[in-house]
Each structure stands twice: as structure tokens, then as C-alpha cells.
Amino acid sequence: MRNRPALAALLLLAASGCGRCGGPAAAPPERLLPADVPLVVVVPRLRAAQEQAVALLRTVLTFPAAADLADALAAAKAQLGLDPLDPLALAAAGLDPERGLAAARTATGELVLVLPVADAAKLADTVGRLAQDRLGAGRREPTRAGGFEVTAFRAAGQPVALALLVAGGHALLAAGPGAPDRLAALAAAARSAPLERSAPFARARAALGGERTALLFAPPGSPAVARWPALREGAAAALSAAATRLQVDAVLLLGQERRQLWGAALAPPSGAAAVELPGRPPDAFLAGRLAGDPAPLLRRALWAAPGVQAALARAGLDPERDLLGLLAPGATAALALAPTFDVAAVSRGAEGAVTGDPFRLAHLTAALAVQDEARARAALARLAAAAPALGFTAAARGPGGAGWRFARGPLALDVALDGRRLLVAGGPGRLEQLLGGGARGDAAPTADARRALAPGASGAVIDFGQLVAAFRALPAAAYGSGPDAFVMRSLADRLVDPAARLLAASARAEVTAEAARLELVVEARPPEAAP
């Protein structure tokens, strides 16, 4: 759409609010939009968004990789003709930073802004200046559309470029021909069925919980997310930030059937006896834990892979009897960088660098709870007998048939039973580490990371400190030889150095009464503590 640059610039202007405290309560921006709007972003209070953005930007802009962001902010300032982070400049633009704004996508794909008006005349002047400077649309024409007063901005003899409708302390802004009629239709629809009174919107906000800097919402059946079937019953995401912490929460609204599926996968049934699983190995950079039953998720993966099902059938294996039906709630997994990691081969995309033996790059440890040790032992024996039909070799490991090594060429995976724990390992010495108990306590680097890996939780953590330490401990041979080694090390440093400024990224999932909820937190070191 030709007019997107001006509309995007004004959105940045509005999203950078700051300024006065206090003031009377006013209608939220979701009151100005209809309940069936396909996609909407709501910022409940501009001042809070601005304060959090400024604090986070101070940290982000210390990253060398953020040079483009600094340039983008400078370009936005030049396009707007004012500093979007200057409170006096925003007040002069006619915005009220103590209230909220919204940006919505309409059913026909256009973008509409809902802006909090402090001074309608000043805001109209700001829009007029942007229309003139960015679009050459210097004519301002009051008009009526659908019973509403609308100000249209256009160039002489040209269609409408921007339209502004002020109502109820807010302004609706849209771009393009037909914008006055679209704004009037939206305002009329919102009067009878506003988003503010939408039951799915209320459910999504309740599932997210707490105050958020920004909230994105797609209602059930929204065409804006039709390509993602998991979002068909409605979805939302929320954002909050601090100087060294960015948190994104997402929820999927669930009907009864999907709530039961997700609930079984993410949480153990009430009263279920937990199986103690190995903790995070001390050298792991990635670790995950599943509190619920992995069988529903694995079952869906098998349904999506008919070739795997056919291969198992040819080998005489039944997925339910020999795998899914054996599992109990509880699973853990971790990856550690292998000391044989070949930076040069991975960078060049060398043949077999990953597909031949991925455990030359990263070591795997995993554990799954099983319902019955004897049944699991029998299933392992059937899998070993069927291995040649699947293209693998199988060799017994340990006494009593409790362990096996399955191999294909250089790739080898070790599997063993330890009571009601099915242990899986890839990499030298990893099975022995699991049988020895592994690390206990999941010594993750931050409180959020520890919550994600706590017993009874379903989550995952990237430990950037451990990842960076492992990369920096790689031998010189990992980078190749000759002049190429210097190039490879330089390329690796461009990735490792920014990662060294981060502490952890953690994700934690749970099922509430009506939604599946995912919490994602990225934490950075304070700028003064960055290496």
C-alpha cells in the first residue's frame, strides 16, 4: 500500500509516548474497534511502553549487531520531523501518553490506528504535516461519512491519502482511497459490538494475566491467522520489558478437546507418581523438561510422518505397543556442544557435517519415564531384533539386556533402562553420565531459567554463558587450518561475542482453565557487566 510509510511513521510516534502522570480515567482503545477485527495490537498505556522501551534500548544499543537499529531510529526521527522519545515533542503532536493506543488490521487487510487525543487540533496538524511531507497530500478536507465527521488529506486531483476521525477522546487514522468510509464503518460497528466487550478477548487477557506493555489478539476464526490451524480458536500475545529482560507471553484459546490434549502433554495427571529424572548436565547449553505425557505429542508426529509408520510396520513394530503405550508422564533432554565440533565444516556446509553423525557436533542426553520396566525391556528387545529391517545395527550394552547401541554408519545412539527410566544418549560417555545420575538441581543461570526446568514444569532453557564457554574452549583444529582458520574464527566470533552479552533464554508452558500459555523470557547482562 503506497501510504504505509506515513502510517507506520505515525504509529512509531504514538508508540513512543511519555509524559504526565495522573489525569481522569478514559475509554480504552479497544472500545473504538469492533469485536470481529481480525488482528489488533493494544498498548494500554503509552507512558509505560515508552519507559520500558527506553530502558531496553539502552542495553540493546550496546550490542554491536544493533547498529542497524540505531540507524532505523534516526531515520524514523527524520521522517517524523521530531524525536519520538522526547516527551515535549509528543505533547506538541497532540497525543496523550497516559492513555492507550491500538493498531488493527481490517478484514480487507488495511491498517487502522486508534490514537489517544490530548489536543485534536494539534494532532490534525501533525497528521497534515506528515501527509504533506511524506505523501504530497497537502489538501485538508472536512467531510462526513456514515454520520461521522472525518478529515481527509489528499493531493489536488488525487484520491484520499489519509483520513482522521476523532471520537470519544480517540482518533481513528487510516490510509488510502476509501479511508473515510472504512473509518466510519469501523466506528459504527464498534458502537454496537466493541472489542472491549468481546468474550474471547476477555478470556485471552485473563489467561495472560498481569499488566502488559503491549498485547496482540486474533479472535476465533480470524482470517489473519488462517494459515496456522493451532490459532483457530483464538490467540493472544503480550510483551513487557526492562533494561536487561524481555518477556513475551502467548496463549492459545482452547476448546475442550484440545484442552485435554494439551493438558495431558504439559502436566501430569492428578495423583500420578513422579519418576525422578536426571538433571541438566553441567556442560549443557540447551535443556528441556516435559512434566506431562509425551505420547500425545509423539503420536501426532507419527501421524504426520506416514513413511515412518510404514517402516515400523514392515519391521513388525507397533507404535502403540512398542513405544507410545509404554510411556509415563515425565521427560528431560539436554544438548552439550561436542569437543569435536567442526566450525569450518559447518560454516562451509560440508557434506555429512550434520547428517552423517550429528553427535560430532552436539552430545545428547535424554530420559523418559516408562510405566513398567518389564514391558519396556521387552519392547527394547523387539526393537533390537527389528533394527536390521530399519537399516540399523543393534548391539547389547550392559548386563541383562538393559542397554543397547543402535548404529548406522558413524551415527550411534545408546539406549538403556534404569528402573522406570528410559535413558537415551548420543556422544562418548553420555550414557555412563546418565547412569551415574547426571547433574542434580538443574543449575540454570537465572531464576526464570530455574522455574522453566523445575520438577513439575514443562519448559526449556538456553544457557548462553555455557554455550559461549564451550565455543571458546574448542581446539584450534575446529576452525580448520591455514588462512581459512583465521576467517572461520572471525566468523564464529561475530556470533559468539553478541551471545556473550546474554544470560539465558527460557520458555515455560502450561495449560490454564481455557488456554495453553507459553512464557518466553530473554535475559541479558547489564551493559557494564558485558564482556
SS3 482: coil
Q: What is the dihedral of CA 434, 436, 438, 441, to 10 degrees?
A: 130
Interval 40-80: pLDDT, tens? 999 998 888 888 888 888 888 888 777 788 888 888 888 87
Question: Does the pLDDT at position 29 exceed 70?
Answer: yes
491 — phi, psi (to 5°)? -65, -40
Question: Does the pLDDT at position 25 exceed 60?
Answer: no
Amino acid identity of residue 91, one-letter, is A
Q: Are 470 and 285 contacting, i.e. CB atoms less than 8 angstroms apart?
A: yes
Interval 254-268: pLDDT, tens? 988 888 888 888 887
Among residues 202, 64, 167, the alpha carbon closest in space to that of 498 is found at 64
Amino acid identity of residue 415, one-letter, is V
pLDDT at 469: 93
pLDDT at 11: 47
Amino acid identity of residue 413, one-letter, is L
Mean pLDDT of all residues in 242-247 = 94
Q: Are 464 and 500 contacting, i.e. CB atoms less than 8 angstroms apart?
A: yes
Among residues 49, 323, 73, the alpha carbon closest in space to that of 212 is found at 49
31-45, 288-302, 428-442, 515-529: range with lowest mean pLDDT: 428-442
Mean pLDDT of all residues in 432-459 = 81
For residue 369, the Cα-to-chain-centroid distance in whole angstroms is: 28
148 — phi, psi (to 5°)? -115, 150
Q: What is the dihedral of CA 109, 115, 120, 123, to 10 degrees?
A: -80
With 0-12 / 13-18 / 19 or more C-beta atoms within 10 angstroms meaning exposed / middle / buried, residue 177 is middle
Q: Left (φ > 0), alpha (ψ -120 to 50) or beta: where does 393 sit?
A: beta
Percent of the chain with pLDDT over 90: 54
Among residues 448, 481, 496, the alpha carbon closest in space to that of 337 is found at 496
For residue 108, the Cα-to-chain-centroid distance in whole angstroms is: 27
Q: Find all residues with CB under 8 Å of 370, minimum gap 6, and list them.
A: 275, 326, 327, 328, 376, 417, 420, 421, 422
What is the spatial distance between Cα 145 and Cα 130, in angstroms, rounded to a whole number? 23
Q: Are 509 and 516 contacting, i.e. CB atoms less than 8 angstroms apart?
A: yes
Q: What spatial distance separates the first Cα and last Cα of the chain, rounded to whole Å?
A: 44
